[in-house]
Copies of this chain bind each other. A is one copy, B any other.
Amino acid sequence: MVVALDAMASDHGPSVLVQGAVAAARDFGIPVALVGNKDILEPLIEKEMTPTERLSLPVEMVHATQVVAMDESPAEALRKKKDSSIQVAFDLVKQGRADAVVSAGNSGATLATAMFTLGRIKGVRPAIATMFPTLKKPSLMIDVGANVDCKPSHLFQFAVMGSLFVQEVLHRPAPRIGILSIGEEGSKGNQLVKQTRDLLQESTLNFVGNVEGRDCFTGDVDVVVCDGFVGNICLKLSEGLAEAILRMLKAELESSFLATMGYGLARKAFRNFRKRVDYAEYGGAPLLGVKGVAIICHGRSASKAIRNAIRMAHGLAESKLADKLETAMSDAAVSR
């Protein structure tokens, strides 16, 4: 199982991507195809590996002449840049030379290229799922950005895909599915949520009802279902808030001698805490509903996030999640 990494596009440029890929090959023995301009990537690869590793690690390079910029229109990139690193990465999967794609580049372009090149599972709206930390085990939120205007049937599909992901990848039986709303009672929510509830209640999923924003982090549901507009806002809001809280706290902790000393003593606790809330631990967000494996990483991903995303991509490819999803989706279409 080979993971193709778009090694050109991220907020931090190719070097963190190469580092992450080499780490994945070194730590987990996962074969990685680094896709991008060889004049840029070769020196980085040389620098990152010892001479022995250069012979032994399963890291190869696949040349691509173009790069999709972070702010480029996905539709235009798809049409005009046939030799972009993201397109070539998906072509490798199409050709059977790789089994999964990881990208920290333009997420719209990754999404569009994945859908176009791999194809969608029949009748399904692909959605982006993301894991997030809770007070208990991590939960999954789906969709966090692929579909901004949704119908109840789309949200229902997200629930089916999220449930299967948690079951197969996180090995939790009968995942508890909640729908994100503004009150626990079934009467609370907008039209979309109320109509989706009806579909979920009639299904064989382990639907536990509405989840409020406040309950997302208690870990009492395994899958939080929402439309991609709401999910993307939640994702970015959480990120912004966590960052703001840590910055405000740091400012307070540096404001006096005693506090600074206390901070010094508790440094290890802070490090553990940061690790716990760090999205990099989770790697990336899988795009579910396409005929293959695609992981979308944060543009700001550090090498650790890339490494972990490659591990997740490899696991998804091995577990044949996309095939299982295809079966589940056609069953679900029947059973509801």
Interfacial residues, chain A to chain B (CB-CB below 8 A): 71, 133-135, 145, 148-149, 180-182, 185, 189-191, 193, 212-218, 228-230, 232-245, 247-249, 252-253, 255-256, 258-259, 261-270, 272-273, 276-277
Question: Complex formed: what's the CA distance from A249 to B273 in Å?
Answer: 6
Question: Complex formed: what's the CA distance from A199 to B336 in Å?
Answer: 41
Question: Complex formed: what's the CA distance from A180 to B234 in Å?
Answer: 11
- Which residues of chain B come closer than 8 Å to A252, judged between CB atoms? 269-270, 272-273, 276
10 inter-chain pairs at a CB distance below 8 angstroms, sorted by A residue, are: A133-B244, A214-B239, A215-B240, A218-B240, A238-B241, A245-B245, A252-B270, A256-B269, A261-B266, A262-B266
Question: Complex formed: what's the CA distance from A265 to B238 in Å?
Answer: 29
User: Copy number of this protein in the oligomer?
Assistant: 2
Question: Complex formed: what's the CA distance from A218 to B215 in Å?
Answer: 25
- Which residues of chain B come closer than 8 Å to A262, judged between CB atoms? 261-267, 269
- Which residues of chain B come closer than 8 Å to A193, judged between CB atoms? 229
Given contacts A213-B238, A214-B240, 20 further A-B contacts (CB under 8 A): A181-B229, A182-B228, A182-B229, A182-B232, A213-B233, A213-B234, A213-B235, A214-B236, A217-B241, A233-B234, A245-B245, A248-B277, A249-B273, A252-B269, A253-B269, A255-B269, A262-B266, A262-B267, A263-B269, A266-B266
Question: Complex formed: what's the CA distance from A331 to B237 in Å?
Answer: 34
